[in-house]
Amino acid sequence: MNIQIACIPGDGIGPEIVQEAKKVLDRVCEKFGHTIEYTDVLMGGASIDAYGVPLTQETVDICRSRAAVLMGSIGGDAATSPWYKLPPDKRPEAGLLAIRKALGLYANLRPAYLFPELAASCPLAAKEGGRNFDLIIVRELTGGLYFGERWTKDIDGVMTAQDTLRYNENEIRRIIRTAFEIAQKRRKKVTSVDKANVLDTSRLWRKIAAEIAQDFPDVAYENMLVDNCAMQLVRDPEQFDVIVTENMFGDILSDEASMITGSIGMLSSASLNETSFGLYEPSHGSAPDIAGKGIANPIATILSAAMLLRYSFALTAEADAIENAVKKTLADGFRSADLMPKTDDAEGLTKVNCREMGDRICERI
């Protein structure tokens, strides 16, 4: 197969981690007899520096012409970067919102599972028999508060801001159905998260979710308020299989879920449209404080590349090969800086930099 993808290295550590993901993709394609072509494009701060805007139409057009997009990370230090002196719609993150809308990427999938080798890094209190969770958050990505009408203006001498939270039944229906379809391939449980005790949008969300659930009698279904879900993720993450929720709630909960794995540097993500097209990126940010130091953890981006092969190209064996190589690398004791124990107990572990981690994973494919 000839695999054609667009690459957005992005800002901060983005170029470093994308380079390692490309290296791993090259290795797996070599092993399985595929060819792969990359087209690099700019978005975020890098695009602002080059073109004055966070996303150009050329970048959108190139991404549309490929089967998938692999992305690093977008943004910089809001306190020091000149990018954040620009109007909000010209800042790096505006490019991210715009490309999601332009490509129709309505479903964000963020898996969160605990590698046995990293159990000691999990910040949750230990329990008898150890922790063992494997969940996925399905987040609606192109509607809700982030895309509603917003304004800031003076009203009778008082500066006032407003953001509008809006969903229609079709937007809700397609993301709920996506969650149930994913659950059918996993452990057959969906937890729909809302704030139906307060919000009209959540009451509509819950009504539609209940209707969709009737089409999937083999999948267990429950509703949970978002504040309770935030608590339950810390108390007992093992209870969850598939969590589905709206845009802002999903943004917050998925970051929380990523941290209970021990490091946000381990968590991949996929943003999909209604075809097999997807944009794949790590769940973490651009970490400008460590950019250029070679110490970033590339595993989340490498696992995102595995999701790319699985979801956009249906290359299951190839995706498995990458994921198994990551597991083997961790089992063999290799750790990036963020994965090293915070105590002096590092016996049997080898600290490696970003490039070396990519090399170790390639060796195990």
Cα–Cα distance, 26 to 36 (Å, whole number): 7
The residue from 251, 280, 311, 338 that is catalytic is 251
85 is catalytic: no
d(CA 161, CA 159): 7
> What residues have CB less than 8 Å from 339, skipping those under 6 apart?
118, 121, 262, 263, 265, 266, 297, 330
Are the C-beta atoms of residues 317 and 324 closer than 8 Å to each other? no
- Which of 89, 227, 236, 293 does the annotation list as catalytic? 227
Torsion of CA 84, 86, 92, 98, to 10 degrees: 140
| Token digits of residue 237 | 């993450």
Q: Please indicate whether residue 255 is annotated as part of the active site.
A: yes
The contacts of residue 199 (CB under 8 Å, 6+ apart) are 165
Q: Which two tokens stand for residue 73?
A: 């990370």
118 Cβ neighbours under 8 A, 6+ residues apart: 261, 262, 263, 266, 330, 339
Q: Catalytic one among 11, 22, 146, 241?
A: 146
Question: Is 134:261 a contact under the CB 8 Å cutoff?
Answer: no
Catalytic residue among 255, 320, 332, 359: 255
The rounded distance, in Å, linking the Cα atoms of 276 and 36 is 17
If we measure between CA atoms, which residue out of 261, 271, 257 comes closest to residue 191? Answer: 257
**From 195, 241, 280, 311, active-site residue:** 195
Q: How far apart are CA 6 and CA 166, in angstroms?
A: 32
Please say if 38 is a catalytic residue. no
Q: Active-site residue 236, yes or no?
A: no
Mind telling me the catalytic residues?
Answer: 146, 195, 227, 251, 255
